[in-house]
Structure 1
């Protein structure tokens, strides 16, 4: 994922608390306004890290004892009892797959490994047509089925939740904050985030969206966020070049190959960080025309950055401007 710098300031009155740490092979950060009756950062950190540990235990593809990796290791025609959060995200993945005509798919892990981007990959390279055809037999959401509290598969598919798990974690943190009486916060997990309320001085939470460069970090746009999740997906952090072509880690499950269009990054703003996370990936897969039409049809706030030779072109829609209060920089 490609996001985002957080611009913060100092305030008076209520305390602005901050803490951060490692998670999911990356990083998380929390800022929240502590009112007189609100819990302190030590107690809040414990709540946050409990949620993150649960998400990692359920969804991580980088630890063999996670619930999803135990499922991935099963052969075809197998079932495994799953907890509610796993089944919830399987259903979200099914929805996004259906709405993208199969371009978005949670079962692309074998493709990621084949092309060199996955947890079991060995080298980044363009696979042979024969190897690609063989792996594609194990890709497709249609191979999954929910039977009561069991997740079943009729092929040796492997599920990868990396396109939605961090957004789900952010929503879980936001829900816990509400229960704790914390109504002003910015919660970020591996680049996916949600902000609500305002800082102690009354200023909005301001987020810097990066220009999609792989040589240095430059803010393309600064937005104000209140009550929304924000997610950016891009092709410029994980990629390789071969034969004069650039291959990113963003895959179209219908072709089994990385996308090759000129849409460099997509930022989505949505009431749900989970949906922002999944939709930013879905729209990046669909590309500059199909993705734009999808966002307009469904009223999704989007910020597109397109490559045009050695420069970038930005395109935003009315929904994005409305939800971010208009351009702030």
Structure 2
């Protein structure tokens, strides 16, 4: 969702870059290497261990992951889970409660039914009976944590795609800090966190992408230091039927894709995990409810809203403060 990082250059110490495939997309790390700091291959090894662990635990596209083994369980069963998954379940519950059930981690049956999930057959609008049946298997209230186990009282299926990448970025950032690397930009599948400065002492600058599916155009450039940034939008993964657009972003309360005019939301937050989840939550809520939520909870948010004449930008004071104001 982010158009990219505007690179800078400096003198003296080196700017190192690593990257590769992950989670069906890519990751990239840029960091300033001073004397005695780890070489790129050592950093790569540590980062890819983290990404492999997140994939093994949270991927809905591999049958042996922890979450998919849980999803295969029938109702009224429990499964021992890693602490990371239980943490995300708690975050999801918090966001669900605050959005009155519109945001929900148990949307995987809906994603599959509408053609967007890992077990989807085709992209199409389901009939009312099929939708009603699947909605019986959606709802965060059917999950509970008992010690180190995750339990369910209905045949719900969990999908971490709205927060797993943000969690991975936070974990990578913590590892970089532990390795003595304090000037970096860490990105995975478009979620990112930046800290410190570039080689020349200037801030990391991030290009926010205009919500278009035909080309990448920078809508805004922001400076980031010590924050996670996440953009959620409805403009890449969707299908058309009978002249209507259906996106992959679902309101779990209704069981249908969102249909408002909010095209994308960027959130800046100290936690990449929370930025990831909140950008999805605000996109689900839409241009009015989402804006009110962001203001009430003091969330830095950048809204791109569809209008007859193109796109309308709406950004709040929290976003301007955290992003250092408009840089270009």
Tell me the TM-score normalised to structure 2 length: 0.99
Structure-2 separation of matches of 1:217 and 1:182: 31
Structure 1 residue ranges without an equivalent (≥5): none
In 1, Cα distance between equivalents of 2:307 and 2:278 = 23
Aligned equivalents of 2:74 and 2:143: distance in 1?
13
Residue 257 of structure 1 aligns with which residue?
A: 256
Equivalent residue runs for 1:316-327 within 5 Å: 316-327=315-326
Question: 2:228 & 2:50 partners in 1: Cα distance?
Answer: 17
Matched, 1:45 2:59: no
The answer as to 2:256 corresponding to 1:275 is no
Query: Would you say 1:202 and 2:196 are equivalent positions?
Result: no
Report how far residue 310 of structure 1 moved.
Answer: 4.8
**2:25 match:** 26
Provide the residue aligned with 1:78 in structure 2.
77
The one-character-per-residue Cα deviations of 1:10-60 (angstroms, maximum 9, x if unpaired) are 111121100100000110000011110210101000000000000000000
Q: What is the rounded CA distance, in whole Å, between the counterparts of 1:297 and 1:213 in structure 2?
A: 29
Cα distance in 2 for partners of 1:4, 1:78 equals 43
Question: Are 2:232 and 1:233 equivalent residues in the alignment?
Answer: yes
| Structure 2 Cα separation of the partners of residues 83 and 65 of structure 1 | 14
Whole-Å separation in 1 of the counterparts to 2:120 and 2:247: 14
Q: Deviations over 1:87-141 (max 9, x none)?
A: 0000000000000000000000000000000000011100000000000000000
Q: Does 1:287 align with 2:271?
A: no
- For residues 138-287 of structure 1, the aligned pairs below 5 Å read 138-287=137-286
Which sections of structure 2, spanning at least 5 residues, go unmatched? Answer: none
Displacement of 1:203: 1.3
> Does residue 91 of structure 2 align to residue 98 of structure 1?
no
Please say if residues 2 and 206 of structure 2, whose CA atoms lie closer than 8 Å, have aligned partners that are also in contact: no
Q: Matched residues in 1 for 2:3 and 2:227: separation?
A: 15
CA displacement at 1:241 relative to structure 2: 1.1
Q: 2-side partners of 1:276 and 1:298: how far apart?
A: 13
Cα displacement string for residues 215-255 of structure 1 (whole angstroms, at most 9, x for unaligned residues): 11100001110000000000000001112211100000000
Secondary structure of the residue aligned to 2:50 is: helix
Task: Please state whether the residue corresponding to 1:254 is helix, strand or coil.
Answer: coil
How many aligned residue pairs are there? 328
Moved over 6 A (4+): none
Q: Give the Cα–Cα distance (whole angstroms) in 1 for the partners of residues 68 and 23 of structure 2.
A: 14
Partner of 1:3: 2
SS in structure 2 opposite 1:37?
Answer: coil
Counterpart-to-counterpart distance in 1, 2:264 and 2:200: 33
Q: Secondary structure at the match of 2:168?
A: helix
Secondary structure (helix, strand or coil) at the match of 1:4 reads strand
Aligned to 1:117: 116
1:35 alignment partner in structure 2: 34
Shift of residue 150, structure 1, vs aligned partner: 0.5
CA contact (8 A) 2:3 2:217 kept: no
Q: Deviations over 1:174-225 (max 9, x none)?
A: 1111111100000000000000000111111000000000111100001110
Quote the RMSD (CA, aligned, Å): 0.6
SS in 2 for 1:232: strand
2 CA distance for matches of 1:42 and 1:121?
38
Conserved in 1, the CA contact under 8 Å of 2:3 and 2:216? no
Deviation at 1:309, TM superposition (A): 2.4
TM-score, normalised via structure 1 length: 0.99
Distance 1:313 1:56 in 2: 37
For residues 4 and 185 of structure 1, what CA distance do their matches in structure 2 show? 18
